[in-house]
Amino acid sequence: MTERGSGVPVLFLHGGTGTGDLDWGAVADRLSRRHRTIVVDLRGHGLSPDDDGAIGVVRFGLDALHVLRAVGVPRAVMIGFSVGGNTLLKLLARDPRPALALVTIGASSRGDASRVTEIMNGPWPSYLTELEHEVGHGPEYWKDLRAALAHDWAHNLAVDDEGLRRISCPTLVCHGDGDRIQQLDYAHHLAATLPAAELYVVENAGHAVQLDQPDAFADRLEEFLARALARV
């Protein structure tokens, strides 16, 4: 876990087979001028061990709450990319109180078992396949992570619309117009169902909007947070 800055706390959750620093290091540095940023590695990723084989959105969400309690933060802005975004939707649909505001990138509220084989056998970005996880077991470790997360996404994510409607905090739903991992329809569904959501479709961006269009994303994020936190 890495903390920077002071002010309203902002918790960042990264995507599957990534790390907190890879997905969020630059954004957290920028936001730390005005906020207390908290960047974590999900269990089984980076520096975070997975001692009980509990990789998945439910466990990730509970871990996020433990992190906030450990640093003395009852509520925070929560920002999640891909699996990190899915985790926050699953968590907050059960209990929305920890979130001051929510930002998702390439997230969805439901999985699709028919796509598991496609995900497990499809191409994967080289910056992820070459990424070293200190808690891993070698250069093929990312494949084990991807397989576990693909099955978890398909079978354990499922957040119904009633659950989404419980998430009443200001929400920014971000999605790249060229995302080949998560369909844009997922983002439209979230934006239409979450009570206080706005949709930001980013041009010339794939799944990792914050990496493909970092300046445009950071500008919109800061503008959104200024408006959302003024109402808190």
Instruction: Write down how long the chain is.
Output: 232
Which residue from 120, 116, 67, 119 is spatially nearest to 91, judged by alpha carbons?
A: 67
Low pLDDT (below 50) residues in the chain: none
Amino acid 118: pLDDT:
87
Q: Is 130 a member of any domain?
A: yes
Name the residue range of residue 188's domain: 2-225
- In the chain, % helix, strand, coil (3-state, to 5) comes to 45, 15, 40
pTM of the model: 0.97
**Residue 48 corresponds to which tokens in the numbers above?**
């975070």
How many whole angstroms separate alpha carbon 42 and alpha carbon 16? Answer: 9
How many whole angstroms separate alpha carbon 202 and alpha carbon 152? Answer: 27
- The CATH number of residue 192's host domain is 3.40.50.1820
Which residue from 67, 148, 150 is spatially nearest to 108, judged by alpha carbons?
A: 150
**Domains of the chain: total:** 1
The one-letter amino acid at 58: V
Q: Is 232 a member of any domain?
A: no
Q: Is 230 a member of any domain?
A: no
How many whole angstroms separate alpha carbon 90 and alpha carbon 60? Answer: 10
Amino acid 119: pLDDT:
87
Amino acid 215: pLDDT:
96
Q: Is 32 a member of any domain?
A: yes
